[in-house]
A and B are shown apart, each in its own frame.
Chain A
């Protein structure tokens, strides 16, 4: 609910800066503190960024190097993702892999 109970710095803004309603019923990719990643259909959310994901799938990482997201996955089903642990949210559709877009070679 958008109620002006207290001021937010100088402005009265109760909404979060991203409107998750446009992602409802769409697949989203969520990254977590600690490096875990999951995708799922966004069924619900709240101000604190807690998310309800349906048919969620965790993308497992390499045993050797946990920074690499491999192909293995594990099914999580219907989950609530805790907002406090979420680091990144992005729509899964519209995400495509591309070759190096930067002119200069990456270091």
Chain B
């Protein structure tokens, strides 16, 4: 499942075509984009709505709300898949790290309640041997 904006973000530095709601088209390299789909293109060719006039401009800023659609090179679509996987993997790693600490908020080390904290309950050796026996 891929989000349109992540596709757009992956497409940074790639050429693309943008058609606006008013029919004008801009061909250029994506310099940057944001959560509102506003985009900044570099080395742009602007084609008028009637397809008759062409202008070259070094850059343009286009409001997301005025975009009808974007055409992106197919190669970018493949790149997105990898990027999304990496982001997900990264998030999973971060998540794993948090769990192993046993929730520092609950006083991870001296875990008498024996409920929370991954290590204390299940870790066995390290959990019990570590603190003094307060029985």
Q: In the bound complex, do residue A88 and residue B51 qualify as a contact, i.e. CB atoms below 8 Å apart?
A: no
Residues of chain B within 8 A of A90, CB atoms compared: 44, 46, 57, 59-61
Q: Give chain B nearest CB distance to A79 CB in angstroms.
A: 18
Q: Give chain B nearest CB distance to A85 CB in angstroms.
A: 9
Within 24-74 of B, Cβ neighbours of A (below 8 Å) are at: 31-35, 38-40, 44-47, 49-63, 65-66
Interface residues on chain A, number (Cβ under 8 Å): 27
Tell me, yes or no, whether B22 is within 8 Å of chain A by CB.
yes
Tell me, yes or no, whether B23 is within 8 Å of chain A by CB.
yes
B-side interface size class: 20 to 34
Q: In the bound complex, do residue B60 and residue A89 qualify as a contact, i.e. CB atoms below 8 Å apart?
A: yes
Q: In the bound complex, do residue B50 and residue A33 qualify as a contact, i.e. CB atoms below 8 Å apart?
A: no
A95-B57 contact, Cβ under 8 Å, with A13-B34, A67-B49: yes
Residues of chain B within 8 A of A68, CB atoms compared: 50
Tell me, yes or no, whether A107 is within 8 Å of chain B by CB.
yes
A100 to B56 CA separation, bound complex (whole angstroms)? 11
Q: In the bound complex, do residue A101 and residue B66 qualify as a contact, i.e. CB atoms below 8 Å apart?
A: no
Residues of chain A within 8 A of B52, CB atoms compared: 106
Q: Give chain B nearest CB distance to A83 CB in angstroms.
A: 9
A88 to B31 CA separation, bound complex (whole angstroms)? 15
Q: In the bound complex, do residue A88 and residue B60 qualify as a contact, i.e. CB atoms below 8 Å apart?
A: yes
Q: Which residues of B contact A (CB under 8 A)?
A: 20, 22-23, 31-35, 38-40, 44-47, 49-63, 65-66
Q: Which residues of A contact B (CB under 8 A)?
A: 8-9, 13, 16-18, 33, 35, 49, 67-68, 86-91, 94-101, 106-107
